[in-house]
Structure 1
Amino acid sequence: MNDQIKKVCVIGAGTMGAGIAAQVANAGVPVLLLDIVPKEGSNRNAIAEGAIARMLKTDPAPFMSTRAAKLVEAGNIEDHLDRVAECDWVVEAVIERLDIKQGLYAKLEAAKRPGTAVSSNTSTIPLANLVEGRSDAFRRDFLITHFFNPPRYMRLLEIVAGADSDPVVVDKVQAFADVAMGKTVVRAKDTPGFIANRIGTYWIQLGINNAFDLGLTVEEADSVAGKPMGVPKTGIFGLVDLVGVDLMPHLKASLTGTLAQDDPYQAIARDIPLVEKMISEGYTGRKGKGGFYRINREKGKQLEAIDLATGEYRPKAKPRGPVGAASKGDLRALVESKGKLGEYAWALLSGTLAYAAALVPSAADDVVAIDDAMTLGYNWQAGPFAMIDKLGAKYLADRLEAEGRPVPEILRTAGERTFYRIEGGKRQFLGLDGEYHDIVRPEGVLRLADIKLNSKPLLKNASAALWDVGDGVVCLEFTGKMNALDGEVMKLIGKAIPLVAQSYKALVVYNDADSFSAGANLGLAIFAVNIAAWSEIEKLVAGGQMAYKALKYAPFPVVSAPAGLAVGGGCEILLHSDAIQAHAELYTGLVECGVGLIPGWGGNGEMLDRWRNAPGMPNGPMPAVAKVFEMVSTATVSKSAQQAKEMMFLRPEDGITMNRDRLLFDAKQKALSLVEGYKAPEPPTFRLPGESGHVGLNMAAEGFRKRGMATDYDMVVSDSLATVLSGGPFDYVDTVTEADLLTLEREQFMQRVRDKRTMARVEHMLETGKPLRN
């Protein structure tokens, strides 16, 4: 059997099926997307074609690039089902009706090749029911792959294998989903709701019930069941609005119909008249007219919340939330808070954590699978067992017992111990056997957090650290808030270069955080401006230029490995690297113009150099200059690593890693591949268009201003950028060096930083997170 998946068929072009197809295409693999033939019209592929067209307009985008969309071919089940013979994996994502799924499988069995994996994206129907009546051969090739919505952005994939599933087939799908699609795979048992939705639905139902029973407002409930518990700030009611109020009755019906009668969920499942009324009136959440919260556009977009007692909307109130330690993630303080909020916290946490604890080993083999499912599927900062560690397993067990409630056996096994510990530099979890076991990472997964457990930094200061990640490679890590960059980062770079040159082979710039870097520390800039420390600001700009160029011309390879946000100075360090190994979800760009500045750490010259050498770029000084001016003046940010390639923030040969957990390993391997025969690049020289080019760029900006797309101060900022990109006092006949460009960059940066309108933009960005259009 071919152990590689080279083509996939997705059957069902609804939101989930289409999204799964898009993520396969994002991995660079062709997809056949099939759905039924519409009852009306002559286009028999209209449903699948319509799904592709919608995804190209959807925001956030299911596709990482328009190139990926071209890998999805539309078809229909009646005419094209025989083409599953071309495919190595068939994903069924049709309506959650057993009879329809079984009817499809009968046709698939006749059409597919032996060894082709067939999986269902069901979230509710047991695997044993799905394959009832199918042949032994079909059962061997069958499994459940439960994706979470939206498939591009949600990292969790629950895989369920049946008693007859061929381990080779299951492993093939798991490996593809992991490496190519970027999923963290959790193996779940064939139980109703699997792991994440079973616990998540219980948590939501318990949260809604207790909010009604204790007389809380929706704002009060969400103020407890949000940040203080380490779960998304939407809380319970905000989450229901997000996923759809109308989904709640379906989940309840599914679980009550499939769970055992003595399952704790059966005791809390109840019909809520207010929810039924909301659904009947179209208040189905954010996709409808509103939900537990809504925006009243008739009252000037007033934010409103529903009154759980009366069912009427009222202005949204600032909740009387937890205070002190209880508001900052201290779960013991939270559940011991006086009054209704403390009662609510205890009812919600004790019930949910006890329920999760009772699911090992029936729903999952160990506590790690449970916690991974909840952190990845519901974006909890800590899974149930990590929460129990914060609360105390014995504390939870004792309080449950004192209230006459069942105590899960695993809590008694833990006793006064924690479910997780660090021993000998390794992370371990407590098993059902009462012994601790190492958490084993899959091959090709390397986490900086794991390395830190067993080592000390080679260098460290308040904003950065340098770590030995093995095989002669060191890792430069930013450590400030949002990994913002400052003078301390530049100092550490200055110390790191001679150390690496003397004792190591290569440097990787990487961190485990969600954001690679939000750019320069604007708070420090505000402080320096307020005390008129102009020389200190210029020193920081020059220091950043010097540090980045030192990395560029270091006598060893430098590979940057960004994920998430990498803007401003965070983007500029990428531009100075020999190579980039980026996570697929990379949002990068030079955004300084948005806060009234221009790139100041060498980014202008690096982008000019890339664009003048871009494939298909016309000759002459102006095309590359105009392209860079357009992107930088509008603070354009990529929406994926693939798009970053199209924008030349990444070179065509730079790598993209789909799975976040594999990024550091892949970057390390790329760095090692560059070591043999490495030579630092030669400094570039430029011929820039000079004053005529400067005028042309300003005319383009003026066109934006006349159309209302640029403000008066945008014109001033873009003029500073145009001065640098066109070469300032130099003309086309002159040779402009990299050092010349850096001087121009510093001069124009300092002009802008001294302008009060720039500082107004910076302050507004720090206060609101949004640009000021002054």
Structure 2
Amino acid sequence: MALKIRKAAVIGSGVMGASIAAHLANAGVPSLLLDIVPDSLAAGEEAKGLTLADSAVRNRLALGALARLPSVHPSPFYDDAFASLIEPGNIDDDLHRIRKVDWVIEAVVEKLSVKRDVLERIERYWRTGLIVSSNTSGISIREMAEGRSEAFKAHFLGTHFFNPPRYMKLLELIPGQQTDPAIVSGMAEFAERILGKGVVVAKDTPNFVANRIGTYGLLATLQAMEAGGFTVEEVDAVTGPAIGRPKSATLRTLDLVGIDTFLHVANNVFEKTDDPAEKAAFAPSKLLRELASRGWIGEKACAGFYKKVKGAAGSEILSLDPGTMTYVQAAKPSGASLEAAAAAKGAKEKTKALLGGKDRYADLAWQILKQTLIYSAEKVGEIAGSVDDIDKAMRWGFNWELGPFELWDAIGLVRSAARMEADGAVVPGWVKDWIAAGNPSFYRREKGHIAYSYRGVYRDLEERPDTISLRTLKEQGRVVRSNAGASLIDVGDGVAALEFHSRSNAIGGDILSMIGESVEEVRRNYDALVIANEGRNFCVGANLMLLLMEAQDEEWDEVDAIIRLFQDTMTKLKRFEKPVVAAPHRMALGGGVEVCLPADKIVMLAETYFGLVEAGVGLIPAGGGCKELALRISGDNPDPEIDLQPHVNRLFLNIGTAKVSTSAHDAKKLGYLRAGDRIVMSQERLVHEAKRSALRLAQTGIPAPVPQRIRVVGAEGKAVMKLGARGMHTSGYISNHDLLIAGKLAHVLAGGDVPAGTFVTEQYMLDLEREAFLSLCGEPKTQQRMQHMLARGKALRN
């Protein structure tokens, strides 16, 4: 059972402490944010007549941290209004108030002596049942707890949030020797369900799990770089997406983290390990020491492995030449293995393609991965309980697409282990024994069940009752219908789930066809329909390539047919007599939004970026997005005396500027979510929660689906919107083509040239959408925007 954390206290208002408090607020948990009392007045305080006794001075550090949070980028809040859940204070005046909270998080500076002092002060006000944790990236929990009572130790553990807490999924829980196991399991459940975290229980060892493996891998990369004479750009080309890692790869990541910070983390293992080989591996490289001595510690110093400079043609990125310690023009590496990796799809195939090459880049990748995989295997049991824990820590904490053991399986465990030994490397004994016992991989999937290597046997991964894996259900033969773009899956209890699985989950004819088939199948055999998937993003919009090709060939009947099919399919969803629940996550853009708007309920992941972005490619929404939101405005304001214009103006601005929500809570402010829609913190629980909502709707019933009429602002309202757009154009905020798009959008949202207050049909609004969309498709500048988006993945302002 999850612990009931109704209120928390965060001690330390630095970057991490304040951000942790912000994410607690995101989850609806109020907190105290406490810091030390300043010992002198700051500039301006004395001029205001303040003294050291004034609360504004005594609470200065926490107040300042809270004031800075809304300006932090990316924002630590889902909605800046959540800042009201954080109450600033100081540990001298307010520490006694922790008696009334359920969880105290110590987040002070990473020094053992300071943390011990703070814990000693916390225990003075500690009550039985109060959970206390230290946010630390590697300090021993046992050493911190020395001197504390046995009862306190039973309620004390480490909670390593990764920075920034809102966006980084991993939370390492580190029990001490005497931590009550029920506290650990209860905190894990709370963190997963309420905070949306991925929890790994780590051993109390230096740097715990993710930082231990990640730091080793980074140092191994630097050693291979220096040994092989590779450039900064070459290292990052090999260690980024080519092996399923983030675009920041290795050295750009070091710049972002801070070389000084990294040296501190690496030194933590260097000082505490007794293994000579490990001590040598964690010894800071000469290059890192040199960079630190020069103050070139990364982005915060404006120089590290990369340096951004302003030139005559604008800003450019220079890279470090380690041989001369000068910055030179960055050059993009090219090679057969890199090109093969770029052409492959998915981390598994990319890595295999890279390692399968015969050039120096393939060799570099092998040297790095070989060492990292062996080290990860050596640490199973020492830093974490299983290969699965280490894999999850690296996926969630370092954004690797595949953890070390998943990657080892991907490249072939047996074959690669033999190659390692042929190179003279020492493969851990348990891995050799595992292979000798006839096991070809660390993981095994059979009929939807997953098992992983655990102490000489396969151990089943536990499936939680409050999660649903569509992949597992598909492997179990629960697919009802399927085509190239989508599948309908039986998720049990009379509910079917429609899953998109086209490239980027872009909507094309195959997905639209499957939506239509799903409606018919659910009508006959099910009680409700859920629209959800487990892709990286829910849906990035319609198939832009298809539209562009038809427009360039001037196949206007084909374009018209595509849009009609989209509109008719969305109308089928909206008029379906059984409940439809949409469950978007991450990016849901353009057509992805239009699929959600007709649903009876939206269950949205908190970390969702939702918006009608068609203006960015020179178009307007034409799959019913304009119509649905205009209908919502009309329905929410039934009194004919209510002026709709301000509401329509906001909608016009949001669509015209291709505004995307920064979170699900922001999507609600933008008018995309209704009062009855839900926001879920945990992505693993999203499909399950959508199914629960669908079942509730099936039990209570939904209103009979009937066509509705929409009150519109008409020609007068259109004139108001166009006037606003002309003002933006005159001020230089939008281009001539933006102005053209804005005029078409205003015509649709206003309901055309009818008198203000006229009621129009849904089909009438859909016809306006389609006509505007078709006319814009014929514009050369729109086609340029579409082509630019397809080629470069970003909008063109022309």
Q: TM-score, normalised by structure 1?
A: 0.96
Task: Write the distance in 2 (CA, Å) between the matches of 1:332 and 1:636.
Answer: 39
Change in CA separation of 1:475 and 1:310 when aligned onto 2, cut-off 3 Å? same
1:301-325 Cα deviation digits (max 9, x unpaired) = 2221101111111100111342465
Match of 1:287 among 295, 300, 309: 300
Mapped contact 2:576–2:705 kept (Cα < 8 A): no
SS at the partner of 1:388? helix
> Following superposition of structure 1 onto structure 2, how do residues 72-151 of structure 1 map, counting pairs within 5 Å?
72-151=86-165
1:94-149 Cα deviation digits (max 9, x unpaired) = 11111111111111111122111101111111111010111001001101111111
Task: Write the distance in 1 (CA, Å) between the matches of 2:626 and 2:247.
Answer: 38
Aligned to 1:194: 208
Task: Write the distance in 2 (CA, Å) between the matches of 1:95 and 1:387.
Answer: 35
Aligned to 1:605: 627
SS at the partner of 2:226? helix
Task: Write the distance in 2 (CA, Å) between the matches of 1:246 and 1:138.
Answer: 34
Aligned to 2:541: 519
Q: Kindly indicate whether residue 760 of structure 2 is the aligned counterpart of residue 747 of structure 1.
A: no
Match of 2:394 among 369, 374, 391: 374
SS at the partner of 2:300? coil
Counterpart amino acid of 1:548? Answer: M
Match of 1:738 among 752, 762, 765: 762
1:705-758 Cα deviation digits (max 9, x unpaired) = 122111111111111111111111322353211111111111111111111121
Q: Kindly indicate whether residue 731 of structure 2 is the aligned counterpart of residue 707 of structure 1.
A: yes
Q: Kindly indicate whether residue 693 of structure 2 is the aligned counterpart of residue 670 of structure 1.
A: yes
Q: Kindly indicate whether residue 49 of structure 2 is the aligned counterpart of residue 35 of structure 1.
A: no
Aligned to 2:44: none
Give, in angstroms, the shift of residue 414 of structure 1: 2.2
Task: Write the distance in 2 (CA, Å) between the matches of 1:364 and 1:419.
Answer: 16
Q: Kindly indicate whether residue 654 of structure 2 is the aligned counterpart of residue 650 of structure 1.
A: no
Match of 1:269 among 276, 282, 285: 282
Give, in angstroms, the shift of residue 691 of structure 1: 1.4
Q: Kindly indicate whether residue 658 of structure 2 is the aligned counterpart of residue 632 of structure 1.
A: no
Q: Kindly indicate whether residue 743 of structure 2 is the aligned counterpart of residue 719 of structure 1.
A: yes
Match of 1:347 among 346, 350, 367: 367
> Following superposition of structure 1 onto structure 2, how do residues 503-518 of structure 1 map, counting pairs within 5 Å?
503-518=525-540
> Following superposition of structure 1 onto structure 2, how do residues 616-627 of structure 1 map, counting pairs within 5 Å?
619-627=642-650
Match of 1:690 among 708, 714, 719: 714
SS at the partner of 1:49? helix
Give, in angstroms, the shift of residue 292 of structure 1: 0.7
Q: Kindly indicate whether residue 310 of structure 2 is the aligned counterpart of residue 297 of structure 1.
A: yes
Give, in angstroms, the shift of residue 246 of structure 1: 1.6
Match of 1:555 among 577, 591, 603: 577
Worse overlay, 199-208 or 28-37:
28-37
Give, in angstroms, the shift of residue 398 of structure 1: 2.8
SS at the partner of 2:213? helix
Give, in angstroms, the shift of residue 229 of structure 1: 1.7
Give, in angstroms, the shift of residue 30 of structure 1: 0.5
1:480-500 Cα deviation digits (max 9, x unpaired) = 111111222211111111110
Mapped contact 2:484–2:510 kept (Cα < 8 A): yes
SS at the partner of 2:250? helix
Change in CA separation of 1:463 and 1:423 when aligned onto 2, cut-off 3 Å? closer
Task: Write the distance in 1 (CA, Å) between the matches of 2:68 and 2:293.
Answer: 27
1:163-218 Cα deviation digits (max 9, x unpaired) = 21112222222222111110010111111111110000000011011101111111
SS at the partner of 1:246? helix
Aligned to 2:54: none
Worse overlay, 506-515 or 608-617:
608-617
Aligned to 1:19: 19
Q: Kindly indicate whether residue 258 of structure 2 is the aligned counterpart of residue 235 of structure 1.
A: no
Give, in angstroms, the shift of residue 269 of structure 1: 2.7
> Following superposition of structure 1 onto structure 2, how do residues 176-255 of structure 1 map, counting pairs within 5 Å?
176-255=190-269
Mapped contact 1:102–1:130 kept (Cα < 8 A): yes
Aligned to 2:65: 51
Task: Write the distance in 1 (CA, Å) between the matches of 2:788 and 2:238.
Answer: 30
Task: Write the distance in 1 (CA, Å) between the matches of 2:10 and 2:104.
Answer: 6
1:211-233 Cα deviation digits (max 9, x unpaired) = 01111111112222222221123
Aligned to 1:767: 791
Aligned to 2:384: 364
Aligned to 2:48: none
Mapped contact 2:634–2:711 kept (Cα < 8 A): no
Counterpart amino acid of 1:654? Answer: D
Counterpart amino acid of 2:317? Answer: L
Q: Kindly indicate whether residue 692 of structure 2 is the aligned counterpart of residue 679 of structure 1.
A: no
Give, in angstroms, the shift of residue 255 of structure 1: 1.1
Worse overlay, 722-731 or 141-150:
722-731
In the comparison of the two structures, how many residue pairs are matched? 772
Change in CA separation of 1:595 and 1:408 when aligned onto 2, cut-off 3 Å? same
Task: Write the distance in 1 (CA, Å) between the matches of 2:503 and 2:652.
Answer: 30
SS at the partner of 1:297? strand
Counterpart amino acid of 2:581? Answer: V
Give, in angstroms, the shift of residue 402 of structure 1: 3.5
Counterpart amino acid of 2:63? Answer: E
Q: TM-score, normalised by structure 2?
A: 0.94
Instruction: Report % sequence identity.
Output: 40
SS at the partner of 1:731? coil
Aligned to 1:584: 606
Task: Write the distance in 2 (CA, Å) between the matches of 1:298 and 1:581.
Answer: 48
Mapped contact 2:515–2:569 kept (Cα < 8 A): yes
For structure 2, list consecutive stretches of 5 or more residues without a partner in the other structure. 42-50, 52-56
Q: Kindly indicate whether residue 522 of structure 2 is the aligned counterpart of residue 500 of structure 1.
A: yes
Task: Write the distance in 2 (CA, Å) between the matches of 1:534 and 1:748.
Answer: 13
Give, in angstroms, the shift of residue 156 of structure 1: 0.6
Counterpart amino acid of 1:25? Answer: A
Aligned to 2:683: 660
1:490-540 Cα deviation digits (max 9, x unpaired) = 111111111101100111111101211111111111110121110111111
Give, in angstroms, the shift of residue 683 of structure 1: 2.7
Task: Write the distance in 1 (CA, Å) between the matches of 2:172 and 2:737.
Answer: 51
Change in CA separation of 1:397 and 1:714 when aligned onto 2, cut-off 3 Å? closer
Task: Write the distance in 2 (CA, Å) between the matches of 1:517 and 1:317.
Answer: 34
Match of 2:403 among 374, 383, 395: 383
Task: Write the distance in 2 (CA, Å) between the matches of 1:724 and 1:337.
Answer: 54
Change in CA separation of 1:107 and 1:730 when aligned onto 2, cut-off 3 Å? same
SS at the partner of 2:319? strand
Task: Write the distance in 2 (CA, Å) between the matches of 1:333 and 1:650.
Answer: 43
Task: Write the distance in 2 (CA, Å) between the matches of 1:733 and 1:229.
Answer: 58
Give, in angstroms, the shift of residue 645 of structure 1: 0.8
SS at the partner of 2:89? strand
Change in CA separation of 1:739 and 1:402 when aligned onto 2, cut-off 3 Å? closer
SS at the partner of 1:649? coil
Give, in angstroms, the shift of residue 339 of structure 1: 4.8
Task: Write the distance in 1 (CA, Å) between the matches of 2:789 and 2:411.
Answer: 37
Mapped contact 1:552–1:680 kept (Cα < 8 A): no
Aligned to 1:478: 500
Counterpart amino acid of 1:719? Answer: G
For structure 1, list consecutive stretches of 5 or more residues without a partner in the other structure. none
Task: Write the distance in 1 (CA, Å) between the matches of 2:660 and 2:165.
Answer: 22
Q: CA RMSD in A?
A: 1.9
1:384-430 Cα deviation digits (max 9, x unpaired) = 11111123333343334344433212311321521111123311112
Counterpart amino acid of 1:288? Answer: A
Change in CA separation of 1:627 and 1:332 when aligned onto 2, cut-off 3 Å? closer
Task: Write the distance in 2 (CA, Å) between the matches of 1:297 and 1:561.
Answer: 44
